[in-house]
Amino acid sequence: MGQNKIALISGITGQDGSYLADILLEKGYNVVGIARRVSADRGWRIEHLRANSNFILEAGDITDSGSITRLVKKYKPDEFYNLAAQSFVRASWDEPYHTSLVTGLGVLVCLEAIRNESPSTKFYQASSSEMFGRVQETPQKETTRFYPRSPYGCAKVFGFEITRNYRESYGIHASNGILFNHEGPRRGLEFVTRKITDGAARIKLGLADTLALGNLESKRDWGHAKDYMEAAYLMLQQDEPDDYVVATGEAHSIRDLLDASFGRLGLNWQEYVTQNPEFMRPAEVDILLGDSSKARRVLGWEPKYSFKDLIEEMVEHDFARLWRPSTDCKTLERAWQDVSVIEV
């Protein structure tokens, strides 16, 4: 694969994997993406990468130690970014065993492969603000005690701790990025941010009449996935491994998200949004707000996208995606009345 650095990315077909691949390829890396065969069939986020000669897609599964060990042995990567997970928090209540296996024990599979086949490989573990759960202090930082409130959060705590343990026990350059909520146009439709931006666009275009949501009061620290993947890259460029909170330092409620999304389209969300108990979590996390001062100080990292920038990009993407060329000009003009036009 030439003299370029080699990066292995698990979860390549996800939002974060595709954005990270873009970043690394631009920096001259050879990128090897790992995807389960079923995920590879859903790889719309990486279609644009397939023509890049520095990108390779490999079949693998972090619940299968043999496949991960084979890939680490084959490529001896300079860097291994573990982004694979069952990452939908609500679904972790329905699939607690599967979530624990993938999101928790899958991290151990990656670390064991590195320990046995390529000890010099630098490892990044995608940890989560959901580990804080019922928060013990606000804002949350690297020293804040974990109190997870879902099977997903519990699995992420295991992944965090086993990563730190292998760093301290075996000297592996292994870092945890405790990433707060991060979004973008490549976010899955099952996540509330994308559900809202997609729903707002559908309503504006007359494709839907209402949008059903759960808790409107919960608050999150939302940033752009592009910014957060840049932070992940920076962690593995440090001489010493460590753990970092990555967050914007601003909390917004679901209501704020609705204001920004529907407002971009000139709509009042209160006329369209309903609440459905089915979308409530068994144990709610009320507020997550991160203190990323360490990442800013040590990594020199700063988010480039504001909350407004993020949501408007997502809304515009979904509007453009849903608009059909057969729509007559007057209908499209009405849809964008009092709203600046985007290219579609």
Of 132, 329, 154, nearest in space to 221 by CA: 132
* CA distances to 1, 47, 80, 167, 197 from 77, in Å: 11, 23, 7, 17, 37
Q: Are 312 and 260 in contact (CB under 8 A)?
A: yes
At residue 144, φ and ψ (nearest 5 deg) are -70, 135
The encoded tokens of residue 95 equal: 């699939």
Residues 6+ apart with CB under 8 A from 107: 62, 82, 125, 158, 159, 162, 163
240 Ramachandran zone, left/alpha/beta (phi>0; psi -120 to 50): beta
Catalytic residue annotation = 128, 130, 152
| Per-position b or e across 262-275, b if 16+ CB within 10 A of its CB | bbbbebebeebbee
Residues 6+ apart with CB under 8 A from 297: none
